[in-house]
Structure formats: C-alpha cells, structure tokens
Structure 1
Amino acid sequence: MRLDSHQHFWKYNSEKHSWITEEMKVIQGDFLPDDLIPILKEHQIDGCVAVQSDESFRETAFLCDLAEEYEQIKAVVGWADLGSDALDKELDQFASQKKLKGYREILQSKPVDYMLRKEFIRGIKKIGKRGYTYDILIFHTQLEAALHFVKKAPEQPFVIDHIAKPNIKLGIWREWKKEMAPLAERDYIFCKVSGMITEADWKKWKAKDLEIYLDVALELFGPKRLMFGSDWPVCKIAGEYEQVLEVIERFTDRLSKTEKEAIMGNTAAGFYGISTDS
C-alpha cells in the first residue's frame, strides 16, 4: 500500500489560520479531499493520513467527518489538550471514531519545556493506554527536550514530523544529526521524511539540497521507521505535490523493493494501524 502519511485539510479562515502569512498566500484558501484525491490517484497513492493544523476539538471532529465520507483518508491525527484535567472525558467523545489513530499538538510554537510538564506527560500516557500514536512537531532546536520527553513514555509510539525541521536553507545538518541520533536509538520512535522543501529556500531549493538530510534519516532510522509525507498543501509554499513525491521516489529507488515499499506506505500503515487490504 502506498500512503501519504502527512497532509492537511482546511476551510480557510484568516483568524484561525493566522500562521498563514502573506508570503504564504498560495495556501490562503480552502484545501479539501476533492482537491487532493485526484493527485493521489494520478500517482497511484492509495490513501493519506489527515493531520490536524488547528488546535481545537472542532478540528478533530472536522477531520473525522471527512474520513467517514472519503475512503481515501485512511487515518486521522487529531488534537487534544493533553495537559487538561478533563482529558479522559474529551477523549471519550471521539472513542467511537475508528479512523482516529493519534494526536498531535503544535509543539514547535510552544516553550521548549512545554512537553516536559507533568500534566503533559500524564496525558501522553493516557492516550497511549487507549492505543493512540503521537506525532511530535518540533524544530531542530527542541530535539534535546524531545529526548527527555520520549524517555518519560517508553511505551508510547512516537513519530517525528518533518525530520524535526532542520535548517535546510542554510545547509546545517551535523548538529541536527547529533541530536536526532539518541532519539533514533529508541525503536518506538519513527520519523516522517516530510516538510523538507519548506525548510529549504522556497524559491531556489534543489533536490540535492535535501540529499544529506534524507541520507542521515535513513542511516539513523532505517526504512522500517521512515514514512513518506507530502505535507500538502503547506508544501505548495515551495513546490507542488509532484516535486515532493519525486524527491522521495528517487531517494527510495536505490533501495530494495521491500525497503522502498516500507517508506512509501507500509511503515505508515503499521504505525497508524491501517489495514493494507483497505
């Protein structure tokens, strides 16, 4: 099964999506399944994982509703306030949503020690007991804190989004590799090769700019813990879906058939509990 492990849907609202600045004007609009599905079909991609972009229960409900309507949405990564004392009650509201496979928070916009709070760790353990995964969205500057974070929940399946957003624009990778390595040593941590072109020079990036980061990710995590994600429509800031896919296709072409299939879908299917027969 070929899967896009990371993309977003939204109905654009200038207040709710205030993070979409004027220089990101290309994504100031609605992006819904009917826009993405033709692209998936064109590239023989069987389905996608819809990931939250707004921190609200309304967002989780919105994505779950879309997943019920469109069979190509194989999984949903929603949002929950993990530090809330009412977390159990809030999780109960979505317990019947079979395609809701995990949760995420926009940690990249939070203080470095936000994820180390006792109540946040308590919340991580609660979602873990319910069988949910957790997407870690951080900048490379938060990797040290992320290591302390994952050590506190060794039973929890984690995936690092966008290879932890290294500074690709400036070609900085050695320190990023050093800080990623101890995370990769833990077999319950996975990594998405996604969101890379938006960390590069939006106007001038080339596939070769990404090669060292892909090589390091493969070296550290191996194909069985890497998964392709387009980060559509955010990727449109720097390039089209086809350009993102081509980079990963070429990168995986040098691998064995089994290894390529892992990165292009099987790893994500296993991580998110998606049936390869669906």
Structure 2
Amino acid sequence: MNIDSHQHFWKYEPVKHSWIDDEMAVIRKDFMPSDLKKIYQKNNIDGCVAVQADQTLAETDFLLDLATKNDFIKGIVGWVDFRADNIDEVLKHYSQFDKVKGFRHVVQGEADHNFLLRPNFLNGIAKLEQYNFTYDILVFPHQLGAVLEFVQAFPNIKFVIDHIAKPYIKDGYYDGWALLMKEIASHPNVYCKLSGMITEADYKSWTYNQLLPYMNLVLDAFGTDRILFGSDWPVCLVAGNYEKVKKITTDFIAQLTIEEQQAIMGLNAVKFYNL
C-alpha cells in the first residue's frame, strides 16, 4: 500500500494564502480531491494524509469534510489553538471523528525561536496523549534546538518532523541541521517525512545529488521504520511535479529490501497515523 503522508487542499484566497508569493504563482489556484485523485491513479498511490495549510478551526472542519466524502483521504492533520483555555474541550470534540489523526501548528512562521517551549503551548500539547493524537513538527533548522527539548518533554506522544525540518539546501547548509536531527532521532517516538525537499533547493536547478546527503542523514538517523514518504503536493509543483517527487524517494530507497521500501512508501504512515 502506497500512502502519501503529506499533501494539502485549498480553495485559493489571496489574503488567506498570502504565503504563496510571486515565485510560487503556479499554485495560486484551487487544489481539491478531484485533482489529486487523477494524479494518484497515474502514480499508483492508494491514499493520503491531508495536512492543514491555514491556522483556523474552519480549516480542520474543511479537511474533515473532504475526508468524509473521499475515501482515499485516509486521515487528516488539522489545526487547533494549543494555547487556548478550552483546548481540552476542542480535542475532545475532534476525538469523535476517526479521520482526525493529529494536529500541526505553523511554527516555522513564528518569530520566537522557542515558540514550541512556551508554557501555554506545552500545556495544550500535553493533552494530545489521552486522545492518542499525533503532532506534526513544522520548523526551520534554527528552531531544532527547541524541537529537541520539546520532544524530550513528551516521550509518549508520536511526533513527525515535516519536510526533514526544511534544511537550507539551496545554500548548502548541512552540519548544524545534521547534528540536531541525529539528536532528535535518538528519541524513538519521533518520525520524519521525506518530503518538501525540492522547494528548499533552487526551484529551477535542483538536482538529485544535491538532496542525497540530506536523505542519507535522515535514513541513518531515523532508520527505515520511522521515515514516511510525502509529496507536499501541490506546493511541490513550484519546483517539479508529482512524478519527479515520488521518483526522488523511490530511487533513494531502491537499494533497501522490499519490506523496507514498503514501510517507507506507506506502512510507516499507516502505523504512525493509525490509518
């Protein structure tokens, strides 16, 4: 079973999606399940996890509605305000929907390097455990120090790092990112998505060999049972297409055993998100 562990849907609105800058103009339009279903049929993908792109409860409800109507959306990663006083109530509400698997906050967009460690945020995250919800970690490399302390605080919550923590591939930065990723990977409750790499390289001139050291580090650090394939569709379209993104991962894991390849291409996502 091939599962895409990371993709997005949206009805494009210029203000809501203001993060889509001029360089990314190609994705300034609607991307809905009917568009993705055709791509999956061509690329032999059986299902996906839809991840939030907007920080509102309306976004979570929008994704839940799409997942209810489209069987190939096996789970969703929504958004809730972990700092809210009523966080327990909100999580309890979403726990009644089987397709809600976990949550994410766009921490990469927060100016505070230590946003993850704010007491009110930690208080909300602590509540995930009782509902068996997961948490997707979306950060830039300069926030990985906080990620390390964050995951150490919650050994019983399942975490996954989105887009290999967005290393600055375009600039060739590696060492600081690599050091912290190894340390974070030593915590067995933390997984990592092989996703979002071509958009951290040069959109027009990236090469497979440029991505290789980063993928090798992730494989060495997390092992074959804690890595998930993800496309980051439709964001990936600014630097390539679905076929190219899938091929990066399948080429990279081609030397592994069939069982290990199957784990990375789908079974780890099933296990992590309880699909």
Do the structures match in fold with TM over 0.5? yes
1:153 matched residue in structure 2 = 154
Residue identity in the other structure for 2:108: Q
Q: How do residues 1-278 of structure 1 correspond to structure 2 at under 5 angstroms?
A: 1-110=1-110, 111-274=112-275
Contact 2:141 2:165 in 1 (8 A): yes
Contact 1:121 1:153 in 2 (8 A): no
Q: What is the CA-CA distance between 1:88 and the residue it aligns to?
A: 1.5
Residues of 2 paired with 1:150 and 1:207: CA distance?
A: 30
Contact 2:182 2:221 in 1 (8 A): yes
Q: What is the CA-CA distance between 1:94 and the residue it aligns to?
A: 2.1
Residues of 2 paired with 1:43 and 1:167: CA distance?
A: 28
Residues of 2 paired with 1:61 and 1:215: CA distance?
A: 37
| Between 135-144 and 121-130, the greater mean CA deviation after superposition | 121-130
Contact 1:4 1:49 in 2 (8 A): yes
Q: What is the CA-CA distance between 1:208 and the residue it aligns to?
A: 1.1
Residue identity in the other structure for 1:188: N
What CA RMSD, in Å, does the superposition of the two structures yield over aligned residues? 0.8
Deviation beyond 3 Å, 4+ runs, structure 1: none
Residues of 2 paired with 1:209 and 1:40: CA distance?
A: 27
Q: What is the CA-CA distance between 1:134 and the residue it aligns to?
A: 0.2
Residues of 1 paired with 2:85 and 2:64: CA distance?
A: 24
Q: What is the CA-CA distance between 1:42 and the residue it aligns to?
A: 1.1
Residues of 1 paired with 2:170 and 2:34: CA distance?
A: 32
| Between 120-129 and 9-18, the greater mean CA deviation after superposition | 120-129
State the identity as a percent.
Answer: 47
Q: What is the CA-CA distance between 1:91 and the residue it aligns to?
A: 2.0
Residues of 2 paired with 1:160 and 1:95: CA distance?
A: 22
SS at match of 2:183: helix
Q: What is the CA-CA distance between 1:67 and the residue it aligns to?
A: 0.2
- Return 5+ residue gaps in structure 1 as ranges: none
SS at match of 1:93: helix
SS at match of 1:74: strand
Q: What is the CA-CA distance between 1:117 and the residue it aligns to?
A: 1.1
Residues of 2 paired with 1:92 and 1:158: CA distance?
A: 20
Residues of 2 paired with 1:48 and 1:140: CA distance?
A: 26
SS at match of 2:114: helix
TM-score by length of 1: 0.97
- Return 5+ residue gaps in structure 2 as ranges: none
Q: What is the CA-CA distance between 1:96 and the residue it aligns to?
A: 2.0
Residues of 2 paired with 1:254 and 1:91: CA distance?
A: 41
SS at match of 1:224: coil
